[in-house]
Chains A and B, each alone.
Chain A
Amino acid sequence: MRMTPVVSVTDLGKEFDGVWVLQNVDFNVYPGEIHALVGENGAGKSTLIKILAGIHQPSSGQVYVEGHKVSLDNPKQSEELGIRTVHQEINLIPFFSVAENIFLGHEPKNGRFGIKTLNGKAMREGARDVLRRLGITLDVNTPAHSLDASMERVVELGRVLIYSPKVIIFDEPTTSLGEHERKQLLAVISDLRKTGLGIVYVSHNLDEALAISDRITVFRDGRKVDTLTRQEATLQKIISLMVGAKGFQGCTTARSMPVGEPCLEVNRLFSQKLRDVSFKLSRGEILGIAGAVGAGKSEVGNAIFGLDAFRGEIKVFGNLYQPHPTRSVRQSIAFVPEERQKQGLFLNMPVRANLTIAHLDRWAKFGCIDHEKEVELTSEYISKLRIKTTGHKQLIRFLSGGNQQKVILARWLAGDFQVGIFDEPTRGVDLQTREEIYSIMHQLSNQGKSILLLSSYVPELIATCHRILVMRNGAICGEFCPTEDNVQEKIMAKMLGGEQSLEDSLAQSH
């Protein structure tokens, strides 16, 4: 099979503001091959596919298409060279048929008499042809809104195939698919290699990567660590490559588990995403929940704070609690949301208003905000947390991500919370702030505050938590003590893999 790779890159690197997010990467994909990219968030796999798609331009290195040196200055150029991406999001028009969606923006036309009309027949035939190549039986007149999730993705794939690309990049194609639909889609992708396409497959799900790919390249900290062939690759091996030699071998400083009374109890939580989640959080404890994107950890936080509907029982300080965001704040529950810009910040408001918004009544008299107290308090937290800002009047949107996050932390610190739900509190935050946030969490724990830390970054959980639960597909699938041996590998194996049935069932479907 060793011919010219359809796409290859040599010594590829990408720098943003002096930080190299990708360095010295050699990578290639052959016709008829599925090449998976795996690695933790921020390991560099997204940057690589964005360079291939022409969205980012490399700071160093070369890209070759079928052996020819090319430069990918914009997405259009990359598409013209035959590189196409199937994105995570679905962008179908609900009331258009499968055929119309596949040919959207590229409709075959009749050009007679100087008037262009859509050629519906050619469109339907083209769509049938594409589906036949994919081995899918589906009526091309079906409206998109009646498709199931895996067929929606097949249509997205069809949209790409009509351009006869040489390489298809799949970016987390199975996110938010149910088990059955996921298998169906993987079978389609797996079959696609017969057409001689080169396929780049990005996923955080290692089972999938193992099940369908011919080679797997592991990224860590912006570098390619290794490329394994299907025969060499095992779950254990991939995880140890992802973690690296300096992986946490358990935490050295023994952390005595606080033995306070439980202040948060979650019993048998079910929701659209959650399946039977139960745990207890004690006074002064930092409890971690590890999980990849879509594992359901944010949904646990949302349910407790009162943002999502659920079935089950939540107790706060021993009392049954019916969550609602407003009540939660009154119950001294704090929530640092995952998406800072969307869920946390009031970008058109100053630092001061962003800091005091959750507990306005504490420094208000008869509904009037005490301006002096508010300024005083803001200044206090600006200096306490070393927030870099020109002052309480500065609009929050001009602060860096780390400093914005500190303001959100201060929002809850000022309210003197008892139970904190921190959802990915260090995402998009610089290293120094990250350390500062960890130390704030330790201080809070020493003061008897309890924290539920939801994170996909395992080293952070090991460094801060007393106990770590692992979630996958909406259920808790393991509990670890951060001082165990090889705890990082163990957690990651639970988070990312361990589903033996997937490969077998794929084999059966062939």
Chain B
Amino acid sequence: MCLFLFFSIASEHFLASRNLLLVLRQMSMLTIISLGFTFVMAAGGFDMSIAGAIGLVNIVFALTLAATGSILLAVLVALLVGMLIGSINGFLVAYVGLPDFIGTFAMGSILYGVKMLATRGNPVFIDDPSRAFLFIGQGHVGPIPFPVILMFFFVAVAVFVLGKTQLGRRVYAIGGNSVAAMYAGINVKKYRLLTFVISGLSVALASVILTSRLGSGQPLAGGDFLLDAIAVVFLSTSMFGEGEPTALGAFVGALIISIMNNGLTMLNVPYYFQHITKGGIVIAAVLLSTLLGQKLRIKF
């Protein structure tokens, strides 16, 4: 709120409805990624492979589309690759027993390497992009950008799944006390793996939107998303309730980060300064929640 007011006053363009829609469109990918991340964090896990995954899916999606011309097939392949990445993450962490940070970090590095090998560092151009492909990231329904509609849809889905279903309850139970979850008969490993699959799926979805917005496969795309998503989830965790990440919190967190990015850009603050503010936000959020006596459940 304060941010919103601050930027409204500081920049005359900020409040323009065009700019607000722009903020929503910019934040759509981050929100979707953060929703998946929220599942992982709710189960007490962590996913460091986001940046690598989004980059690889971007390339795979572009390559499939360029080769076949079928948008449906390309989206399907992209989502499958995302789920596969999530499954491997989940397998390494939940079944092999690697610490989350190490398993997913290594995975992110592998994904980055695979992407670079596949493209040799060159962009993948899509000749004659179809309207359907461009619509995903650039289209509008009435005045509202299509990615924004997607975002709201998935926020609603995540709010419902985390809040109202067995899956959500069990995921929070595992995050709250994984030992007690086991003693209550919950298949802890299976559900932890599932949260990583959900994270992989949401990353793939965001990557599809990203590809459409870029109109191509860019080997360097996706780099910022990990830090942004971490900032979002920490904000979400420290702002709401019992120190647990929530879907709504992810939305609000992404909104804050995006307003910050947008507002700072409008004020002509150098781009790299945004990294400094985001880092600061993560530290502030964690400090705040520690001061409030809530424990962020992160396993190193």
Contacts and interface: CB of A to CB of B under 8 A. Distances in A.
B242 to A, nearest CB: 5
B243 A348 contact: yes
Nearest to A366: B165
B176 A348 contact: yes
Contacts of A330: 185
B176 A343 contact: no
Contacts of A325: 182-187
A345 B183 CA distance: 10
Interface string A72-88: 00000000000000000
B173 A367 contact: no
Given A325-B185, A348-B244, A411-B184, A364 B166 contact: yes
A307 interface: yes
A64 interface: no
A346 interface: yes
A368 B176 CA distance: 20
Given A343-B179, A360-B169, A367-B167, A348 B242 contact: yes
B281 to A, nearest CB: 24
B164 interface: yes
B130 interface: no
A346 B183 CA distance: 11
A246 interface: no
Interface string B104-141: 00000000000000000000000000000000000000
B180 A343 contact: yes
A360 B166 contact: yes
B262 to A, nearest CB: 34
B interface: dominant SS: helix
B243 A344 contact: no
Contacts of B187: 324-326
A337 interface: yes
A367 B176 contact: no
Interface string A342-359: 111111110001000110
B14 interface: no
A341 to B, nearest CB: 9
Interface in A299-348: 305, 307, 324-326, 328-330, 335, 337, 342-348
Nearest to B294: A348
A335 B166 contact: no
Nearest to B189: A326
B183 A344 contact: yes
A345 B169 CA distance: 14
B185 to A, nearest CB: 3
* Contact count band on A: 20 to 34
Contact of B165 (A307, A324, A343, A367): A367
Which of A305, A307, A337, A346 has the largest count of B CB atoms less than 10 A from its CB? A346
A63 B227 CA distance: 58
Contacts of B183: 305, 307, 325, 335, 337, 343-344
Contacts of B177: 342, 345-347
B167 A344 contact: no
A258 B164 CA distance: 43
A364 B164 CA distance: 10
B185 A326 contact: yes
Contacts of A353: 169, 172-173
B185 A369 contact: no
Interface string B182-196: 111111000000000
B170 interface: yes
Contact of B186 (A326, A342, A343): A326
Nearest to A331: B185
Contacts of A367: 165-167
Interface in B226-263: 242-244
Contact of A307 (B164, B173, B182): B182
A328 B153 CA distance: 38
B176 A328 contact: no
B176 A346 contact: yes
A460 B182 CA distance: 28
Contacts of A328: 185
A343 B179 CA distance: 5
A11 interface: no
Contacts of B182: 307, 325
A347 B177 CA distance: 8
A148 interface: no
Contacts of A346: 172-173, 176-177, 180-181
Nearest to B172: A349
Contacts of A343: 179-180, 183
B185 A358 contact: yes
Given A349-B172, A357-B186, A369 B180 contact: no
A15 interface: no
Nearest to A340: B180
A326 B170 CA distance: 12
A307 B166 CA distance: 22
A428 to B, nearest CB: 16
Interface string A363-400: 01001110100000000000000000000000100000
Contact of A357 (B179, B184, B242, B244): B184
A107 B262 CA distance: 55
Contacts of B176: 346-349
A307 B178 CA distance: 13
Nearest to B188: A325
Contact of A360 (B170, B242, B243): B170
A367 B164 CA distance: 9
B216 to A, nearest CB: 39
B185 A344 contact: no
A361 interface: yes
A344 B184 CA distance: 8
B185 A368 contact: no
A305 B185 CA distance: 9
Nearest to A329: B185
A345 B164 contact: no
12 contacts: A305-B183, A325-B187, A335-B183, A344-B183, A346-B176, A349-B173, A357-B181, A357-B186, A364-B166, A368-B164, A369-B166, A371-B164
Interface of A: 305, 307, 324-326, 328-330, 335, 337, 342-349, 353, 357-358, 360-361, 364, 367-369, 371, 395, 411
Given A325-B187, A343-B179, A357-B184, 7 more contacts: A324-B187, A325-B185, A337-B183, A342-B180, A346-B173, A357-B186, A395-B242
